[in-house]
Amino acid sequence: MGSYSFFEEYNQEVTDSLKNNFSEILKGIGEDVKREGVLKTPERAAKAMQFLTSGHCQDPAEILRSAMFAESYHDMVIIKDIELYSLCEHHMLPFFGKAHIAYIPNGHIVGLSKIPRVVDVFARRLQVQERLTHDILECINDTLKPTGVAVVIEAAHMCMMMRGVQKQNSVTTTSGFRGQFEKIETRNEFLKLISSDLA
């Protein structure tokens, strides 16, 4: 037996309620809920939905505050290619891609792992990409109070790829800038750095 174990805790009352709802959905689309392949699907879907929307129960600002350090660094800090997975609130289908985030410290820096965690918290909610971009931007800006923040998100949307217009190769890009990044030269430096591979 291996030493690896993975544990997720779910609210049993919520799980049972969602399980019943997913069972009704399966019946509604003509599935046989007694069929072996989907016998446990309602419970799996109930747990998956709780995980994928768990960001509603988390405070992203507190995540940042838990690892803020006084530091006199005043140049750009960039974390790029942060993977993100979210659910579109219109069709509850996934959209996924990458976030590129930069900030210019103003007396405080933050632990590098906290920025991707903030992305996860906001992504694990029913979202639209535009609001996701804004949420991340404002959280960092309001909590760290840097001299500038920049957020760019590039994502593919399954609601465009699997249904509707069915365009498999389209990518949506959204961006937001505050403070120093509203200056064209600072913004261009950021955009150049996230689009290049540094040796």
In this structure, what token pair is assigned to residue 61?
A: 């600002």
Our answer to whether residue 108 is catalytic in this structure is no
Please identify which of the residues 62, 89, 130, 182 carries the catalytic annotation: 89
Please identify which of the residues 50, 100, 127, 157 carries the catalytic annotation: 157
Decide if 181 contacts 188 (C-beta within 8 A).
no
| 3 state DSSP class of 2 | coil
| β-pairing verdict for 77-88 and 126-127 | parallel
Please identify which of the residues 100, 108, 127, 129 carries the catalytic annotation: 129
Please identify which of the residues 31, 58, 159, 189 carries the catalytic annotation: 159
Our answer to whether residue 168 is catalytic in this structure is no
Our answer to whether residue 89 is catalytic in this structure is yes
Our answer to whether residue 159 is catalytic in this structure is yes
Cα distance between residue 9 and residue 49, in whole Å: 13
Our answer to whether residue 90 is catalytic in this structure is yes
Sign for the pseudo-dihedral over CA of 126, 128, 130, 133: positive
Please identify which of the residues 50, 88, 108, 127 carries the catalytic annotation: 88
Our answer to whether residue 91 is catalytic in this structure is yes
Full strand arrangement of the beta sheet holding 126-127: 126-127, 77-88, 94-104, 148-157, 172-179
DSSP 87-149: EETTT--EEEEEEEEEEE-SSEEE-TTHHHHHHHHHHSSEE-HHHHHHHHHHHHHHHH--SEE
Please identify which of the residues 91, 138, 154, 189 carries the catalytic annotation: 91
Start-to-end C-alpha separation, the chain: 43
Catalytic residues: 88-91, 129, 157, 159
